[in-house]
Structure 1
């Protein structure tokens, strides 16, 4: 009987590039401008990305496009959002004892990049695309302050990018 051995290093292989985008644009407007500049067709995905944090469930918007000819997958992902959770506060007043408050807390898709508004995740783009050219085109969009390639080795929360 043959023994098959799995090496966990095979599963850690990263086959995507990640571009950080600093902008004040809303997600749908940014997707529209990216579609124009890069000649892709990003569409709002019904499946938002869900991440569980101690305050509750966080939902991040996602725009997706799959290019069949080159087999490249494009995802525009929101990095910042808020989770609203219930917080009880005891108040020592004459008329009430306990007050239910709603508190909002900022959560991040990739917490190690708190200043980034969006990420453009491009899968299977090793030989087919020039990332510097993509960044230059993204920088020509009005209200995009800066873009840069994220070193995937610096990402501690890589599991958040699996969807």
Structure 2
């Protein structure tokens, strides 16, 4: 009688399988993508669906599946500006305020994350050096995924 074996792969197995570069820059997402594509020889394209958490909360995502090197590159915005209408009492018109939400809340200072899913450990230093040469990038650096409490938001 054959016994069946069930293999369970824990979610954490996938968690540490990607590397991250944190990018600080005031560039718009499309300009950031263009600059990274030019400087790092990538081919990131905006994916059809943004990363959505609810109807008001969505983050732009640009992706490139580099099949030749068995790597997937994903640039995701860490910021989402939500417009809120603040009702007023009578005399004044309602005010509109803007609130910024973050994909990775404990890293509010980061504007973008470049996520690299690679079969092999990739040498990030070279990519970080290229990104830091982009004129409007304040700084870019590798980020330890283990240190992020909300890293689950980066798994999609």
Which category of TM-score, normalised to the shorter sequence, fits these structures? 0.7 to 0.9
Q: Unaligned stretches of 5+ in structure 2?
A: none
Q: Could you give the per-residue CA deviations for residues 67-106 of structure 1, whole angstroms, max 9, x where no partner exists?
A: 0111100111111111223444444x6xx9xx75543211
* 1:125 CA displacement: 5.0
Q: Does 1:65 align with 2:64?
A: yes
SS of the aligned residue for 1:115 comes to coil
Whole-Å separation in 2 of the counterparts to 1:82 and 1:136:
29
Q: Unaligned stretches of 5+ in structure 1?
A: none
Give 1 or 2 for the bigger CA radius of gyration. Answer: 1
Q: Given the alignment, which residue of 45, 48, 53 partners 1:46?
A: 48
Q: Does 1:20 align with 2:17?
A: no
* 1:146 CA displacement: 0.6
Task: Tell me the number of residue pairs that the alignment of Structure 1 and Structure 2 aligns.
Answer: 152
Whole-Å separation in 1 of the counterparts to 2:137 and 2:85:
35
Shift of the 102–34 alpha-carbon distance from structure 1 to 2, 3 Å rule, reads same
Q: Does 1:143 align with 2:136?
A: yes
TM-score (norm 2): 0.85
TM-score (norm 1): 0.82
